[in-house]
A and B are shown apart, each in its own frame.
Chain A
Amino acid sequence: GAGVSQTPSNKVTEKGKYVELRCDPISGHTALYWYRQSLGQGPEFLIYFQGTGAADDSGLPNDRFFAVRPEGSVSTLKIQRTERGDSAVYLCASSLRTGLGELFFGEGSRLTVL
């Protein structure tokens, strides 16, 4: 596609529920990143993929968070047993390769946990 696409744009869920957030990167971009942004803060790194494999998942806050990218394109961020503190905007970005290049961001998925 022309840009990074994220769905849903808005998700409201109840505490304890399971949530999936999807990211469709720019075609041909091998690197894909997930960040989380709370109000008034900068993006906080969660995980990034180079191809199908998670190259660095050190930013995932705990084992309730998991992400996959099975075919090296679309990625899904999965959050189990959601908590109110998980409420944030989840941003996805892609780049041609890791290391030096600029990131292209999607519009984000706003998650609200009631």
Chain B
Amino acid sequence: SQQGEEDPQALSIQEGENATMNCSYKTSINNLQWYRQNSGRGLVHLILIRSNEREKHSGRLRVTLDTSKKSSSLLITASRAADTASYFCATGRNSGNTPLVFGKGTRLSVIA
């Protein structure tokens, strides 16, 4: 089963615009991670935010986490055509050493 639910399912923007993707989850978490997947490739880790953090930055990426609403957002600023990919959120649960549970992803298309 998949806990995370990304929104929107698909997003198309012009190069230079910002892209915002949202993730909602259901159970208590220890951390939330965002991954990127280019078509036909494996997933690549982008950023991890712990449950006691509210915001984190990495280059052009900004992630927020609201544990009261069980939601997170990923913002990509000044998007480039090379950012075209699927983006997944994944949650690590509180209960012991449990595997990451992934959402269905947001397919981002950045048009040059």
A residues bordering B, Cβ < 8 Å? 4, 33, 35, 40-45, 48, 50, 55-56, 59, 91, 93, 98-100, 102-108
Q: Would you give the 0/1 interface string for B95-109, flagging 1 where the beta carbon is closer than 8 Å to chain A? A: 011111111110000
Q: What are 6 A-to-B residue pairs whose CB atoms are below 8 Å?
A: A42-B104, A48-B99, A99-B96, A103-B43, A105-B35, A105-B43
Contact indicator A105/B104 (Cβ below 8 Å): no
Give Cα A103 to B98, complex, Å.
13
Q: A100-B30, A107-B41 are in contact. Are A50 and B97 (CB under 8 A)?
A: yes
Q: Within 8 Å CB of B90, what residues of A? A: 103
Category for how many chain B residues contact A: 20 to 34
Contact indicator B97/A99 (Cβ below 8 Å): yes
**Residue of B whose beta carbon sits closest to that of A108:** B42
**Residue of B whose beta carbon sits closest to that of A31:** B97
Give Cα A91 to B31, complex, Å.
22
Q: Within 8 Å CB of B101, what residues of A? A: 45
Contact indicator A100/B92 (Cβ below 8 Å): yes
In the complex, whether B73 has a CB less than 8 A from a CB of chain A is no
Shortest Cβ distance from A1 into chain B, in angstroms?
Answer: 14
Q: A42-B88, A42-B104, A43-B88 are in contact. Are A98 and B45 (CB under 8 A)?
A: no
Shortest Cβ distance from B4 into chain A, in angstroms?
Answer: 8
Shortest Cβ distance from B68 into chain A, in angstroms?
Answer: 22
Shortest Cβ distance from A77 into chain B, in angstroms?
Answer: 15
**Residue of B whose beta carbon sits closest to that of A55:** B97
Q: Within 8 Å CB of A100, what residues of B? A: 30-31, 92
Contact indicator A99/B92 (Cβ below 8 Å): yes
Q: Would you give the 0/1 interface string for B75-112, flagging 1 where the beta carbon is closer than 8 Å to chain A? A: 00000000000001010100011111111110000000
Q: A55-B97, A99-B30, A99-B97 are in contact. Are A42 and B45 (CB under 8 A)?
A: no
Contact indicator A106/B97 (Cβ below 8 Å): no
Q: Within 8 Å CB of B92, what residues of A? A: 99-100
